[in-house]
């Protein structure tokens, strides 16, 4: 005779059991290819003029309580706009063009290629304050490889835009994965954010680590571990 088991709390007729609930997606969301296959600014995109940008800087100087007409600040709006042109030049550069030229003379090389300690500086999109650190990038090529300096160049293109560290990490990995189509990509970024070290909680020296793995690095824990051990090895 089968035992009758009564539930402790009677469920509602249409109640979904936890086991029947849809599990959350565990794979990372795919990025829109337009983020890394073309320049972020289109030639026909309307933008404020340089004079309007300089006027905006004057407005901010007045907002903080300064006198924009005093001698030391007369040229500041021009200097700030010129600095913006340099700091945010990544909006006008095409990531795909950097990775398009590859080389086939690899003598059958089939292990991953790692470039570590790529120094970068970017700007936080929340406070427009700098964050800076190092990127470590590895990929396992299929027949053809890209010039090593191109991985550093790719990092700079994405870093010279308003960013979050998480998005920067994902963009670098996605661009390499989509354009080079390797067997796998591994990206780790370590950075200090001045929006946290010089304002707010003011924790100088606090480091943030982010990572993104695709292909063999995502699916093979041993390859992940080997990548991490090489990144953390003696400099």
pLDDT in tens, 81-90: 999 999 999 9
10 found inside a domain: no
43 found inside a domain: no
Residues 73, 115 within the same domain = no
pLDDT in tens, 141-174: 998 999 999 999 999 999 999 999 999 999 999 9
11 found inside a domain: no
94 found inside a domain: no
Q: What is the domain count for the chain?
A: 2
**Given 55, 126, 143, 166, which residue is catalytic?**
126
pLDDT in tens, 8-34: 444 444 444 444 445 445 455 567 777
CA distances from 22 to 13, 14, 230 (A): 19, 16, 38
167 is a catalytic site residue: no
Residues 83, 123 within the same domain = no
- Are residues 184 and 216 in contact, defined by beta-carbon separation less than 8 angstroms? yes
Q: Which residues partner with 136 through β-bridges?
A: 188
Question: Given 3-state DSSP classes, what are the helix, strand and coil percentages for the chain, each rounded to the nearest 5?
Answer: 40, 20, 40
95 found inside a domain: no
92 is a catalytic site residue: no
204 is a catalytic site residue: no
Residues 78, 174 within the same domain = no
Domain residue limits at 213: 102-231
Residues 65, 136 within the same domain = no
78 found inside a domain: yes
171 is a catalytic site residue: no
CATH of the domain at 57: 1.10.286.10
The beta strand positions in 16-85, using DSSP E, are: none
- 132 burial type by CB count under 10 A (0-12 exposed, 13-18 middle, 19+ buried): middle
**Given 35, 167, 195, 224, which residue is catalytic?**
195
Q: What is the average pLDDT score of the chain?
A: 88
Residues 192, 77 within the same domain = no
94 is a catalytic site residue: no
192 is a catalytic site residue: no
């Amino acid at each position: 005779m089968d035992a009758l088991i009564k539930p402790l709390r009677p469920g509602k007729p249409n109640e979904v059991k936890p086991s029947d609930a849809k599990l959350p997606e565990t794979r990372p969301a795919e990025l829109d290819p337009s983020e890394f296959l073309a320049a972020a600014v289109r030639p026909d995109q309307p933008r404020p003029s340089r004079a309007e940008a300089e006027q905006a800087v004057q407005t901010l100087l007045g907002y903080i309580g300064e006198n924009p007409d005093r001698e030391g600040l007369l040229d500041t709006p021009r200097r700030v706009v010129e600095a913006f042109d340099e700091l945010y030049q990544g909006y006008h550069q095409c990531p795909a063009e950097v990775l398009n030229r590859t080389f086939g003379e690899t003598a059958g090389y089939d292990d991953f290629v790692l470039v570590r300690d790529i120094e970068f500086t970017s700007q936080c999109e929340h406070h427009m304050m700098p964050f800076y650190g190092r990127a470590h990038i590895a990929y396992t090529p299929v027949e053809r490889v890209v010039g090593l300096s191109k991985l550093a160049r790719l990092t700079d293109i994405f870093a010279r835009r308003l960013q979050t560290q998480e998005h920067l990490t994902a963009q670098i990995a996605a661009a390499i994965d989509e354009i080079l189509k390797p067997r796998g990509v591994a990206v780790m970024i370590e950075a200090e954010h001045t929006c946290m070290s010089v304002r707010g909680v003011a924790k100088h020296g606090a480091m943030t680590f982010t990572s993104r793995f695709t292909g063999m690095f995502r699916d093979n824990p041993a390859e992940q571990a080997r990548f991490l051990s090489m990144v953390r090895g003696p400099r």
